[in-house]
Amino acid sequence: MHRAFPPLIEGKPDILILGTFPSPLSREKSEYYGNPQNKFWRIIFDVFNVEFVDPSYDEKKNVLYNNGVALWDVVESCDIDGALDKNIKSPVYNAGLPEFIKSNGIVKVLFNGKTAYELYIKGFGTIEVDQGAFCQL
């Protein structure tokens, strides 16, 4: 069974972006979205109008932190062969997510894809935020 990472959080973020589970390369590097082919970080930098020039992992995290964004995964642990979400087997849902959302005052929950959203609904049923909304990226 493979294990996910703790959340990336600093201060009291307004937004939480949820993925499914780290890829093998991400787990090897101990970095969210560690595969340089993944467009996640380029999109984040573009959304917040920050130039993307070979940033370090700390610089990537700081773009999230400086813009009130936390990052985590829906699945805490699972069996998985490769990096594709469809290969997730025996998922153990991240039981701390609902309390994390509530205790941090998260007002928007964004999912990085359909599978992350579907896994959240399967594991928790609903998403409760005080205001704002949730959506899929």
Task: Please pick, among 38, 62, 67, 104, the residue that the annotation labels catalytic.
Answer: 38
Can you list the pairs that 103-108 forms with residues at least 24 positions away whose Cβ atoms lie under 8 Å?
Answer: 104/9, 104/12, 104/13, 104/16, 104/70, 105/12, 105/14, 105/130, 106/13, 106/14, 106/15, 106/16, 106/70, 107/14, 107/15, 107/131, 107/132, 108/14, 108/15, 108/16, 108/132, 108/133, 108/134, 108/135
Let me know if 38 is a catalytic residue. yes
Catalytic residues, by residue number, are 38
